[in-house]
Amino acid sequence: QPHQVLVASTGVIGKHFVDGLFEVGIAKAVAELGSTDGLDIVSGSNAAEAIMTTDTYAKQAAVRFYLPHADGSSNPYTIAGMVKGSGMIEPNMATLLGVFATDALLSQEAADNAFKQAIDTSLNKLTIDSDTSTNDTVFFLSTGGASSAEAVIEYQSAAYYSLVEALTTLCVELARQLAADGEGATKLVTVKVNGAVDDIQADMAARAVANSPLVKTAIAGHDANWGRIAMALGKSGADFEQNQVNIKLMGLSVCHAGLAQPFDEDEALRLFAELPEIVIEADLGTGGNGSTVIWTCDLTHGYIAINGDYRS
C-alpha cells in the first residue's frame, strides 16, 4: 500500500526523480525476490549491491541473539542490515542510506529508542570527509517473523537491553565498513578520545582529529606526524591543558604530557604498511570521564579523482 512505501534518495543534489523509473524498478525488484519464509541471502545481497553509488563493495551484516524464557530455554532472533555511503558523509544529514530489520517483535517505543541508542554510538560516529548532503536515511523494520504475539519486546525490559546490545554490535560493524570504504581510502582510521570533561567535549576533540585534512593525508603518506593530531585537538574547542595530553599512534606513545615522546620511526613505517586499521588514541588528562570513538579514513589522491570527476 502507498503508506507502506518508504523512499530514500541519493545522487546529484537538485536533480529531480524520473517517476517512471519507480514503476519499472519496483516491479522488476519484486519479481526477483526470493523466498519470504526464511533468510533470503541472494535477494538481500542483490539489494545491498543495488543501493551502491561510489562504494566499491556492498556493505551488509547480521547478528544473531538469544532471549531467555522462564523455563531456561531461549529463542534465537536475527537483526540484519545493509548500508551504502562512501563520500559526503558526516551525520547531520549525510549521503548515507541504510535498512535494518529484525524478526523480533518490538513495540514502537522499543524500536524507536533501541535504534536511536544504537545509531548514536555507531553511524553517528562516522565521518568520511566532514561534508553533509541533503539526505540521510536509515530504516528499522520489525517483522516479528520469529515471535509469537505474546513475545513483544517492550522498552526497558530485560529483552530490550539484549536487543540494544545486538543492534549496536551490528551498527558498529557497518559503520566500520563504511569508513574503511571511504572514497579513495586505503586505511580505516579509528580515533579514540578519553579523559575529556564530558562526552560532548570528547566528541568535539575526536571529530576535529578525524576531519583534519592534515591528519588524514599524513596517514595516507605513512607519516607519524603526531603534531597534526595535537593541532587538531587544540583547534577543537574542547577544554583541556596541553601539558596534560598523551597521544598514541598505532599503539606507539608519541606524545606524553604535551611533549614529544621518542619512538621508533621505522617501526611506525612498518605498522603503517601492515595494519589495515590505524588507531589514534588521545587522553586529554582533564580528570573527567568523557570519552568517544569516531571512525574515518585517510585522504588520498583517489578522493580527489572521484569527486573532481563526479559529474563530468
Confidence of residue 39 (pLDDT cuts 50, 70, 90): low
Tell me which residues are annotated as active site: 95
- Evaluate whether 247 touches 281 at the Cβ level (below 8 Å): yes
d(CA 265, CA 263): 6
Question: What is the grid cell recorded at 92?
Answer: 547531520
Tell me the per-residue pLDDT of 100-122, one tens digit each, with 9 for 90 and over.
999 999 999 999 999 999 999 99
- As given in the structure block, the three cell numbers for residue 181 are 570504504
**239 CB neighbour count, 10 Å cutoff:** 15
Nearest Cα to Cα of residue 145 among 84, 207, 103, 96: 103
Give the whole-angstrom CA distance, residue 105 versus residue 67. Answer: 12
DSSP one-letter code for 184: T
Cβ burial of 163 (10 Å; 0-12, 13-18, 19+) is buried
pLDDT at 53 over 70: yes
pLDDT score for 145: 85
